[in-house]
Amino acid sequence: MLDPKQRLTVDPNSLEVVKGFERDHVEGSVPQLASEEDLRNALESAFSYRGDVTITRKDGSQLEGYIFDRRTAATLDDSRVRIIPKNERTKVEVAYSEIAALAFTGRDMAAGKSWETWVKNYWEKRAAGEKNIGLKPESLEE
């Protein structure tokens, strides 16, 4: 048992990172959709992306917004992605088979905002003698 007077320090650089929680750096990218597997992988990345994407349908129409849900099935016709269009409150469903292109066009709202980064900054501020250090949301406005 630890002595209550003993301080436990945490070095954020030595913390383990759980496999599968690494962030892809896809902001601004346009993945190649040469195969069904490419499309499925790109949509999985888009689902975990914290920014807007632009879907170009095979009919040439475009839809920009945030992907909040996807339902995969055995075929592309039966698989669906659900998106909230930019500046709208509606929800639109698009079949994977209708998608010709995908682009990560919006700013990644989660970039650089990891728990490890926050802990590191906290300990640096505390070591510098700052007071009233706590969890405070960052402004989403630039």
Domain with residue 60: its CATH number is 2.30.30.100
Range of the domain at 87: 36-103
Report, as an integer, the average pLDDT of 72-93: 94
The pLDDT > 90 percentage for the chain reads: 44
Q: Would you state the pLDDT for residue 18?
A: 45
**pTM of the full structure:** 0.61
Domain membership of residue 65 (yes or no) is yes
- Of the CA atoms within 13 Å of residue 80, those in its CB half-sphere come to 10
Burial of residue 64 (number of CB atoms within 10 Å: 0-12, 13-18, 19+)? middle
Q: How high does pLDDT run on average in the chain?
A: 80
pLDDT computed for residue 19 by the predictor: 47
Interatomic CA distance for residues 79 and 39, integer angstroms: 11
What integer pLDDT is reported at residue 28 of this predicted model? 65
Query: In total, how many domains does the chain have?
Result: 1
CA pair distance 73, 142, nearest whole angstrom: 39
Answer yes or no: is pLDDT of 137 > 90.
no
Say yes or no to pLDDT of 43 above 60.
Answer: yes
50 closest CA partner among 67, 35, 33, 63:
67
135 within some domain: no
Please check the confidence at residue 3 and state whether its pLDDT lies above 80. Answer: no
| Confidence at residue 130, expressed as pLDDT on a 0 to 100 scale | 85
pLDDT tens figures, 6-19: 555 655 555 545 44
